[in-house]
Structure 1
Amino acid sequence: MRDLFLLFTALTCLSLPSMGQSPQQPNIIFVLVDDLGYGDIGVFFQNERKSKNDRSEPWIMTPSLDKMAKEGAMLTNHYTAAPVCAPSRASILMGVNQGHAHVRDNQFDKEIGDNHTMAQVLKNAGYETVAIGKWGLQGDGKGPNWPTHPMKVGFDHYFGYIRHGDGHEHYPVEGIYRGSKEVYEGYEVVKGLDKCYTGDLFTAKAKDYILHHQEEKPHQPFFMYLAFDTPHAVIELPTQDYPSGGGLNGGLQWLGTQGKMINTASGEVDSFIYPEFDKATYDHDKDINTPEVPWPDTYKRYATVNRRIDDQVGDLMQLLKDLEIGDNTLVVFTSDNGPSRESYLPKEYADYTPEFFNNFGDFDGIKRDVYEGGLRTATIAHWPATIDGGTVVSQPSISYDWMATFADAAGAPVPVRTDGVSLLPSLSGKGKQAPSQIYVEYAQGGKVPNYAEFLESHQGKKRGQMQMIRKGDMVGVRYNVQDQEDDFEIYDVTKDPQQGNDVSASNEELQGIFKTSVLRKRIADEEAPRPYDEALVPAISLKKPKAGLIAETYLTNSPWIPQPTTKAQSKTKVDGVTFDDITDKGNLVLWKGYIKVPKSGKFTFSAERGSHHFFMRIHDIAVMDGNYSLENTPEGALYLEEGFHPVRIYYLRDTNHPTLSLFWNDPEGNYQEIPTKVWYR
Structure 2
Amino acid sequence: MLRAILVTGIAFGLGAGGAGVTDTPAAEPSEPAIPGGRPPNILLIVADDLGYGDLGCYGQQKIRTPHLDQLAEEGIRFTNAYAGSTVCAPSRCALMTGLHTGHCRVRGNGGGGSPRSNVPLAPNDICIAELLKKAGYATALIGKWGLGEAGSTGLPTRKGFDYFFGYLNQHHAHNYYPDFLWRNEEKVRIDNPQSTVENVAAQRRVYAPDLFREEALRFLTAHRDRPFFLYFATTVPHANNERTRATGEGNEVPDDAPYTHEDWPQAEKNKAAMITRLDADIGTILTHLRKLKLERNTLVIFTSDNGPHREGGNKPEFFRSSGPFRGIKRDLYEGGIRVPFIIRWPERIKPGTVTDHVTAFWDFLPTACDLAGVPVPSQLDGISLAPLLTGQGQQRTHEFLYWEFHEGGFRQAVRHGSWKAVRHAPNLPLELYDLQADPSETRNIAAQHPDIIMRIETYLKTARTDSKEFPIRLPKKK
Instruction: Give the TM-score normalised by structure 2.
Output: 0.83
**Share of identical aligned residues, percent?**
38
Q: Is the aligned partner of 1:320 residue 2:289?
A: yes
Could you tell me which residue of structure 2 aligns to residue 201 of structure 1?
A: 211
Distance 1:531 1:513, change over 3 A: farther
Aligned-partner Cα distance in 2 for 1:37–1:192: 30
Please name the residue that 2:234 is paired with.
228
Distance 1:163 1:504 in 2: 40
For residue 63 of structure 2, what is the amino acid of its counterpart?
I
Q: Distance in 2 between matches of 1:512 and 1:72?
A: 39
State the one-letter code of the partner of 2:465.
I
Please point out which of 449, 467, 475 is paired with 2:420: 475
Structure with greater strand percent: 1
Cα distance in structure 1, aligned partners of 2:31 and 2:337: 35
Quick one: which of 134, 137, 154 aligns to 1:148?
A: 154
> Which structure has the higher relative contact order (CA within 8 Å, separation 6+)?
2
Change (3 A) 1:507 1:303: same
Number of residue pairs the alignment of both structures matches: 416
Alpha-carbon shift at residue 106 of structure 1 (Å): 2.6
Provide Cα deviations, 1:251-273, integer angstroms capped at 9, x if missing partner: xxxxxxxxxxxxxxxxxx95422
Q: Distance in 1 between matches of 2:146 and 2:36?
A: 33
**Superimposed CA distance per residue, residues 314-337 of structure 1 (whole angstroms, 9 cap, x where no aligned partner):** 111111111111111001101110
Q: How big is the shift at 1:123?
A: 1.2
Q: Deviations over 1:289-313 (max 9, x none)?
A: xxxxx21111110110010111111
Question: 1:417 matched to which residue of 2?
Answer: 379
Q: Deviation digits for residues 340-387 of structure 1, max 9, x if unmatched? A: 113xx4xxxxx4221211111111111110000000001101111321
Contact 2:107 2:405 in 1 (8 A): yes
- Are positions 1:168 and 2:177 aligned together? no
Equivalent position amino acid for 2:403 in 1 = V
Residue 23 in structure 1 maps to residue 26 in structure 2: no
Task: State the alpha-carbon separation in 2 of the partners of residues 112 and 186 from structure 1.
Answer: 16
Post-superposition offset of 1:171: 0.9
How far apart in 2 are the matches of 1:22 and 1:86? 38
- Aligned positions of 1:433-444 closer than 5 A: 433-436=395-398, 437-444=400-407
State the superposition RMSD in angstroms: 2.2
What SS does structure 2 have at the residue aligned with 1:230? coil
Q: CA deviation at 1:79?
A: 0.6
Bigger shift: 392-401 or 226-235? 226-235
Q: Distance in 2 between matches of 1:393 and 1:428?
A: 14
- Shift of residue 478 of structure 1? 1.2
Instruction: Please report how far the alpha carbon of residue 150 of structure 1 lies from its aligned counterpart in structure 2 after TM superposition.
Output: 0.5
Q: Using the alignment, how far apart are the partners of 2:54 and 2:422 within structure 1?
A: 24
For residues 375-402 of structure 1, what are the alpha-carbon distances to aligned partners after superposition, in whole Å with 9 as ceiling and x for unaligned? 0001101111321111112011100100
User: Residues 77 and 354 of structure 2 are in contact (CA less than 8 Å); yes or no, is this contact kept in structure 1?
Assistant: yes
Aligned-partner residue type, residue 153 of structure 2: P
What residue is the counterpart of 2:445 in the other structure? Answer: 503
Distance 1:212 1:432 in 2: 37
Give me the whole-angstrom Cα distance separating, in 2, the residues matched to 1:83 and 1:22.
40
In structure 2, how many angstroms separate the alpha carbons of the residues matched to 1:357 and 1:122?
Answer: 38
What is residue 530 of structure 1 aligned with on the other side?
Answer: 472
Amino acid at match of 1:213: H
**1:102-117 alignment runs, 5 A limit:** 102-107=105-110, 108-113=117-122, 114-117=124-127
SS at match of 1:395: strand
Structure 1 position 188, deviation (Å): 1.9
Q: Which residue of 1 aligns with 2:327?
A: 365
Contact 2:174 / 2:241 at 8 angstroms: preserved in 1? no
Partner of 1:36, secondary structure, is coil
1:209-244 per-position Cα deviation (integer Å, ceiling 9, x unaligned): 101112xxx1x200011111111012999xxxxxxx
Cross-structure match for 2:57:
43
Structure 1 unaligned spans of 5+: 1-14, 51-58, 174-181, 238-268, 281-293, 346-350, 446-463, 533-681
Q: Which residue of 2 aligns with 1:295?
A: 264
Q: Which has the larger radius of gyration?
A: 1
Report if aligned partners of 1:327, 1:383 keep a CA contact under 8 Å in 2: yes
CA contact (8 A) 2:40 2:227 kept: yes
Aligned counterpart, 2:255? 272
Q: Relative to structure 1, is the Cα distance of residues 504 and 102 closer, same or farther in structure 2, using a 3 angstrom cutoff?
A: same
Post-superposition offset of 1:160: 0.8
- Contact 2:182 2:188 (8 Å CA) reproduced: yes
Distance (Å, rounded) in 1 between the aligned partners of 2:42 and 2:364: 11
Please tell me whether the aligned partners of residues 236 and 305 of structure 1 are also in contact (alpha carbons under 8 angstroms): no
**Alignment partners' CA distance in 1, 2:320 and 2:148:** 34
Deviation at 1:27, TM superposition (A): 0.2
